Amino acid sequence: MLLQLQNISKTYQDGSSSVQAVDGVSMQLDAGEFVAVQGPSGCGKSTLLLTAGGLLKPTSGTVTIDGQDPYSMTADERANFRARTIGFVFQQFHLVPYLSVYENILAPGMAVKTKANPERAQQLIERFGLTDRQHHVPAKLSSGERQRVAMARSLLNEPELILADEPTGNLDHENAEILLQFLAEFASEGGGVLLVTHDDRAVSHAQKAIHILDGKLTSPATAMNPV
Ligand SMILES: Nc1ncnc2c1ncn2[C@@H]1O[C@H](COP(=O)(O)OP(=O)(O)OP(=O)(O)O)[C@@H](O)[C@H]1O
Ligand SMILES: [Mg+2]
């Protein structure tokens, strides 16, 4: 099993008020699976994805990625583990504005020195049709091109898992299809994909869809192999 969430809850504490964004979520994801978690705005999708990705410690519950608990590591170990294991794709792309396409794609290699790999970056540039754009900064690219850069970047370190948060949110139909097909292909080659979204179109490319409402999964138990 690639990813296991056991009874994850996350409460944001803001002075005297608190928001329970995720409430007792358990699920698992195997290699080769593409799972979509769908729900309305504010229901806890991003919070769930961040906790699953080792970016946000849950208030309670256990995250296991590839047999390891990222939150039992030091911050440095966790950053290195994330860089080796997980590719992230976000709605807002999160590209570094002053780096070129090529440098953005190569950047995760800096975090994992043994894997910094200019040839792989170049292969990804070709695969995602960015050859003519590789020396441009993100501001000079279209949205679809920016998300293709983000996809290429997510693959640089050959991750086992891709976590995608509303990745089609800023894309037109054609570019959304390209992105979703890429995610499906990644899973068919043995990777795991966890996508959170409110977009039905995005869900239609996944092998399994589960719903989240008010921080709780609401799908039938069989949909997600809950533990
Ligand atoms: N850093 C934070 N501090 C306090 N509350 C937060 C924080 N981040 C999110 N929340 C609250 O937690 C709840 C879940 O937020 P989250 O961003 O996970 O929802 P979402 O499903 O991703 O929404 P959207 O579809 O709009 O992206 C919301 O009520 C939100 O206001
Ligand atoms: Mg969100």
**Single-letter amino acid code for the residue at 4:** Q
Pocket test for ligand 1, best of 43, 48, 92 (most atoms within 8 A of CB): 43
- Closest Cα to atom 14, ligand 1: which residue? 44
User: For 136-166, what is each residue's pLDDT tens digit?
Assistant: 999 999 999 999 999 999 999 999 999 999 9
Cβ neighbours of residue 22 closer than 8 Å, sequence gap 6 or more: 8, 9, 10, 44, 47, 48, 51, 58, 215
Cβ-contact 72, 66 below 8 angstroms? no
Strand order in the sheet with 60-65: 17-29, 3-14, 60-65
124 pLDDT exceeds 80? yes
Cβ of 227 closer than 6 Å to ligand 1, yes or no, is no
Q: CA 136, CA 63: separation in Å to the nearest integer?
A: 38
Summarize the confidence of residues 79-94 as an average pLDDT. Answer: 92
List residues bridging with 87 in a β-sheet: 162
Q: Which residue, 42, 37, 61, 43, is CA-closest to 51?
A: 61
What are the tokens at 85?
């294991």
For residues 180, 198, 1, 58, the Cα torsion angle rounded to the nearest 10 degrees is 140
Do the beta carbons of residue 37 and residue 45 sit within 8 Å?
yes
Q: Which atom of ligand 1 is nearest to the CA of 48?
A: 18
Q: Is 198 in the pocket of ligand 1 (CB under 6 A)?
A: yes
Q: Distance (Å, rounded) from C-alpha 184 to C-alpha 167?
A: 13
Structure-token match 């794709």, residue found: 89
Ligand 1: distance of its center to the CA of 46 in Å? 7
Query: Ligand 1 centroid vs 147 CA: distance in angstroms?
Result: 23
Q: How far is the CA of 42 from the centre of ligand 1 (A)?
A: 5
Backbone angles phi, psi at 177, to 5 degrees: -60, -45
Q: How far is the CA of 11 from the centre of ligand 1 (A)?
A: 10
Q: What is the pLDDT of residues 10-66, one digit of tens each?
A: 999 988 999 999 999 999 999 999 999 999 999 999 999 999 999 999 999 999 999
pLDDT for 206: 94
Evaluate: CB of 192 within 6 angstroms of ligand 1: no
Domains of the chain by residue range: 3-223
Domain 3-223 fold is: Rossmann fold (3.40.50)
